[in-house]
Amino acid sequence: MTETDQEKLTWTHKHLLGLKDLTRREIEFLLDTARGFEEISTRSIKKAPTLRGKVVVNLFFEDSTRTRTSFTLAANRLSADVVEFTKKSSSVSKGETLIDTARNLEAMGIDIVVIRHNAGGAAKLLSRHINACIINAGDGYNEHPTQALLDVYTIRQVRGSLEGLKIGIVGDIAHSRVARSNIWAMTKLGAEVTLIGPPTLMPAKVNELPVRVSYSLDAVIQELDVINMLRIQFERLGGNPFPSVREYSHFFGLTVERVARAKPDLVVMHPGPINRGVEIESEVADGANSVILRQVANGLAVRMAVLFLVSQGVAEQSKER
């Protein structure tokens, strides 16, 4: 990457709502920017003054370990102040609406809202009603952009580029915002994506997505370069999408035996949390092909870059005025 290549792009977005609306160039720019943040986490003083004086609020209406901690750490490492908000201990339990909650927080002078919500479109809705930067940390079944960014960042790190790679996303696609953001990011960066799982876990209108669909993991495992295993979202399942968990793992679990039939350099990914023994065997999750913990580590650099870029987007927009 030469300097002039990078300089062509000016980041103008003050929100990160999803990857569907970003261009390939913008995604690549964001990933290139994230490289510059990796080094901060390797120092003895894990801090840069970049967002000093900014306030970030983590507005989480759903449970989260990784994403929330990762955003908190990312903001801390850039010297921003972080306010943690949880549904249980807030006035939401007294009947306050999302927009009212956010407006009240904004009145206290926050700059960036990181929101996770069980309704698709919540982040977008918020961006229309308040002035702060909005970062979508997962909205319903819609998108989870920072997860997909760290996924493609990790693939680029391991394989150099996504161009021409065959990537399988396995499991509960229907309930997965991670899958949706992955599809946009990976296909924009030139990969071929195959969704793999039982028909009952495929999303509606899957034929409108830029992907192939396979109902058999065994039929496609040999051709994959990267496999992203998703958790069955039991908390969101209605009805009986498969006869039993055992049967599901029998057909769609990533076992040592299946990995042995795949390409030797297959990259095994999982967005977490893992259900060991269900969608992935422990030996595979902890094995040589797995980049699962690397994904988590990369999440920090990617989220620092996102926090930085949305604030740059604000500066850029105020320049235009």
Closer to another protein by CB, 3 or 208: give it: 3
Q: Report how far apart, in Å, the C-alpha atoms of 20 and of each of 13, 16, 131, 266 are.
A: 14, 11, 22, 26
Smallest gap, in angstroms, from Cβ of residue 273 to another protein? 31
Q: Report how far apart, in Å, the C-alpha atoms of 176 and of each of 46, 161, 203, 211, 234 are.
A: 33, 24, 9, 15, 12
Q: Report how far apart, in Å, the C-alpha atoms of 271 and of each of 57, 67, 80, 100, 302 are.
A: 23, 10, 26, 32, 14
Among 10, 91, 161, 222, the residue binding another protein under the rule CB under 8 A is 10
Residue 35 found at the interface with another protein (CB under 8 A) = yes
DSSP state for residue 270 in the 8-state scheme: -
Smallest gap, in angstroms, from Cβ of residue 25 to another protein? 14
**Rounded Cα gap, residues 241 and 130, in angstroms:** 39
Q: Which stretch binds another protein (CB under 8 A): 42-50, 150-158, 202-210, 231-239?
A: 42-50
Q: Report how far apart, in Å, the C-alpha atoms of 24 and of each of 53, 103, 152, 282 are.
A: 32, 33, 12, 35
Residue 141 found at the interface with another protein (CB under 8 A) = no
Closer to another protein by CB, 33 or 146: give it: 33
Binders of another protein among 61-90, rule CB under 8 A?
78
Residue 208 found at the interface with another protein (CB under 8 A) = no
**Rounded Cα gap, residues 299 and 67, in angstroms:** 8
Smallest gap, in angstroms, from Cβ of residue 2 to another protein? 8
Helix (H, G, I), strand (E, B) or coil at 145: helix
Closer to another protein by CB, 119 or 315: give it: 315
Enumerate binding residues for another protein (CB under 8 A): 3, 6-7, 10-11, 33, 35-40, 43-45, 47-50, 78, 305, 308, 311-312, 315-316, 318-319
